[in-house]
Amino acid sequence: MSAVIEARNVTKHFEVGRKHVVHAVDDVSLTVHEQEILGLVGESGSGKSTLGKVLVGLHEKTGGEVFFKGEKLPQRYASADFQRYASRMQMIFQDPYSSLDPRMTVGEIIGEGLRLHSDARTIPTRERISEWLCRVGLEPDHASRYPHEFSGGQRQRVGIARALIMEPEFVVCDEPISALDVSVQAQVVRLLGELKSSLGLTMLFIAHDLSMVRYVSDRMAVMYQGSLVEIGTADDVFFRPKHPYTKILIGSNPVPDPKSERQRRALSIKGEIASPINIGAGCRYADRCADVMEVCRSVTPPLLPVSDATGERTVACHLYE
Amino acid sequence: MSVDDLHVEFDTYGGIVKAVRGVSFHVRAGKTLAIVGESGCGKSVTVQSIMGLIPMPPGRITRGTAMLEGIDIIGRQIINGQDIRGDRVGMIFQDPMSSLNPTMRVGDQIAETLQVHRGYTHKQAIARAVDLLGETRIPEPAKRAQQYPFAFSGGMLQRAMIAMAIACEPSVLIADEPTTAIDVTTQAQILDLLLDLQRKTGVAVVLITHNLGVVARMADDVAVMYAGKIVEKGSAEDIFYRASHPYTLGLQGAMPSNDQEREQGLQPIEGTPPDMFDPPKGCAYYARCPYAMRLCAQNHPERFALNPHHYANCWIHHERAPRGLAPQLFRGETA
């Protein structure tokens, strides 16, 4: 399998005030292989959305490199770069309400990418829009309607059609289902699954619903406070977590089964998430970790392969060195 | 507390929305009733009308009673000179950030409840507020009581709101999606806290949520709502292991199972909930139901009891319904 996206030591800092720096993403390296869905989970503020935006160039990088099919992407995108890469990399946004322009019809929204990025005169745009509306489960005559006429699930389908009509080689889905109802979530997830198999999509799927991410992804990556703590196949990470944070995160996820929920002892995380401003050396999870050791507070654990895991698994924790 | 045959309507420009159409349930001391359903099914409106939080007009409670300790509280907030809101019934809201007053110190907001309902002096009330923050496991409660809501994280704000809701030791606590806006790790903390408080105080909890995992963790009894009606009600075991309404089964199928062995696809519920301006004549779930029969379109399903505490409103339990239909549905012991 060849890598579609390869991030090497990607770092994104935001400056707040004169002396303070928010470490949103710190030294993250990961690879998304062709026709793979990589799930990215973590709490709010863990940097998962920022990482997604950095990968498609919506944020400039503070450090590190991103390679797209072996080609190094610019550190900061100029408008010509967007013109060049937008048709190959797309993003589906979290909020189906604020991410669609209320003054454009759905047809204009979906067709805008085609109009800007391809030789529109040679391509019958209208047919393509109708085709995509059908593909995401809407009607061709919806093209003349405005976003406010649609429900949340339908708008998310519009967002998906807008991103995928470009036939991108890589898609970042930033919490595409968080704003939707349970029954509609399943509709959208199934749609993404169908499109993945029919188009051979490569995706980074960001979400905080762990069971859904396990269901959708081939591999799963876990972030905590801007750093990647664990990555492996989705089932391995979900059922056999290694990193203490992954264990807590998965243990906190209630399962729809009263018998096992009642037997389960309270497994709560200790304390509050620390401020992401001006982080020093050491493991970021050290203050909340049940298995904290001396070394954790001074040395940042590197992401290393774990030997006893089935398949490929890397964990950033001193316990497994 | 027991609620009987509650109907709530809203006047809008488009016509009358019948948001709640005959909801009945009761919740016992020390127990948790979970009300489950999609957005727009009327679960929040149900509890808001009990709390007197429905703006009237445009809202209107057309029928129904809510008995709390022998007194009907619907439509009257002042009983024996006391406001029951915040006193006998406490409420926790979904979004703690917008439910607290940003210009008031957190301690003062909790103390206000005690001053209004219990006649505490400000000093007494503040001291109790600090204790309450401690009970809801906020570190350094004395310092935190002096801070404003913006200095709190989402999880801590939710704890502060719980502290406020239990300040007057209510007999019923209504939690309207208390963890929907919160991360899973914090959600686990908040749920543990609620379970703990319930064990200590014996408060009855009405929990509104759409997360079946949360229901499994918290609930003794479950009511499943669809389009303003309860379609199935029973113990948590009844609902999870002996689901008897196609909608309950649909909700379960739409959630990923965490069982590695049982690898089955997600089964979304196709379509969307009905238009509440003009609710269907028959079963509201008719259009989306995979087992719909001809009769369902025209006739409201009756309530079929499967055991003394478990019922489902679905024609499939009628003796003349075909037996082979919907084999996954629980048909009762005798069927």
Over residues B130-155, the pLDDT tens digits come to 999 988 888 888 989 999 998 888 88
Give the structural domain span for A51: 3-88+166-320
In a domain, A98, yes or no: no
For chain A, the 3-state helix, strand and coil shares in percent, each to the nearest 5, are 35, 25, 40
Q: Which of A149-153, A213-217, A310-314, B299-303 has the lowest mean pLDDT?
A: A310-314
Token couple for B16: 């009358």
Report the distance separating Cα B222 and Cα B48, nearest Å: 18
Token pair of A75, please? 């550190």
**Which chain B residue lies closest to A187 (C-alpha atoms)?**
B268
SS (H, E, C) B226-287: ECCEEEEEEEHHHHHHCCCCHHHHHHHHCCCCCCCCCCCCCCCCCCCCCCCCCCCCCCCCHH
Tally C-beta pairs within 8 A across A and B.
Answer: 121
The string of pLDDT tens digits covering residues A252-292 is 888 888 888 777 766 666 666 777 777 777 888 888 888 88
Q: What pLDDT does residue A119 have? A: 62
Whether residue B213 and residue A186 make contact (CB cut-off 8 A), yes or no, is: no
Domains in chain A, number: 1
A44 domain-assigned: yes
Q: What share of chain B is helix, strand, coil (3-state, %, to 5)?
A: 35, 25, 45
pLDDT score for A267:
62
* Per-residue model confidence (pLDDT) at position A87: 82
- The angle subtended at Cα A244 by Cα A241 and Cα A245, nearest 5°, is 90
Chain center to CA of B102: 26
Peptide bond into B57 cis (omega under 30): yes
pLDDT at B33: 93
- CA angle, A179 as apex, A174 and A184 as ends, to 5°? 105
Q: What dihedral angle (degrees, nearest 10) is formed by the CA atoms of A237, A240, A244, A249?
A: 60
Cβ–Cβ gap B188/A267 under 8 Å: yes
Residue A180 lies in a domain: yes
Residue A44: which of B183, B251, B265 has the nearest Cβ? B183
Residue of A95, A138, A183, A210 best to disrupt the B interface, most CBs of B under 10 A: A183
A32 belongs to a structural domain: yes
Q: Is the pLDDT of residue A120 over 60?
A: no
- In a domain, residue A83? The reply is yes
Can you tell me the distance from the alpha carbon of B67 to that of B105, in angstroms, rounded to the nearest whole number? 35
Which domains are present in chain B?
A: 2-219 (3.40.50.300), 241-258+267-317 (no CATH)
Interface with chain B: mutation pick from A181, A269, A273, highest number of B CBs within 10 Å:
A181
Over the range B220-241, which residues count as b (16 or more CB within 10 Å of their CB) and which as e? Answer: bbbbbbbbbbbbbbbbbebbbe
- Structural tokens at position A80: 């010509």
Across chain A, what does the average pLDDT equal?
A: 84
Q: What is the CATH number of the domain that holds A277?
A: 3.40.50.300
Tell which A residues from 193 to 232 touch B, by Cβ distance under 8 Å.
208, 210-212, 214-215
**Which of B38, B184, B254 has its CB closest to that of A253?**
B184
When pLDDT is cut at 50, 70 and 90, the band that residue A176 belongs to is confident
Q: Which among A146, A137, A52, A145 has a CA at the least distance from the CA of A94?
A: A52
Q: B54 burial class (0-12, 13-18, 19+ CB within 10 angstroms)?
A: buried
The number of C-alpha atoms within 13 Å of B261 and in the hemisphere containing its C-beta is 0
| List of chain B residues whose C-beta atoms are within 8 Å of the C-beta of residue A153 | 272
Does A69 reside within a domain? yes
ipTM entry: 0.78
Query: Is A270 within the bounds of a domain?
Result: yes
pTM above 0.90, yes or no: no
pLDDT, residue B335, reads 41
Residue B334 is predicted with a pLDDT of: 47
> For residue range A51-102, what is the model confidence (pLDDT) as tens digits?
999 998 888 888 888 999 888 888 888 888 887 888 888 999 888 788 899 9
Q: Is residue A96 part of a domain?
A: no
Distance (Å) from the C-alpha of residue B248 to the closest C-alpha of chain A? 11
What is the least distance, in Å, from the CA of A81 to any CA of chain B?
A: 36
Mean pLDDT of the A210-232 span: 89
* Rounded CA separation A179/B141 (Å): 34
Closest listed residue to residue B89, CA positions, set B40, B34, B48, B121? B48
C-alpha separations of B316 from A141, A282, B293, B294, B296 in Å: 37, 61, 8, 11, 9
Neighbouring CB atoms inside 10 A of B101's CB total 12
Does residue A227 or residue B329 have the better pLDDT? A227
Cβ contact A181–B38 (<8 Å)? yes
Among partner residues A211, A215, A268, which is closest to B188 by beta-carbon distance? A268
| Regions of chain B with pLDDT less than 50 | 262, 334-335
Q: CA nearest A232: which of A318, A285, A321, A309?
A: A309
Residue positions counted in chain A: 321
CA A23, CA A275: separation in Å to the nearest integer? 10
Distances (CA, A) of B284 to A183, B15, B90: 16, 19, 32
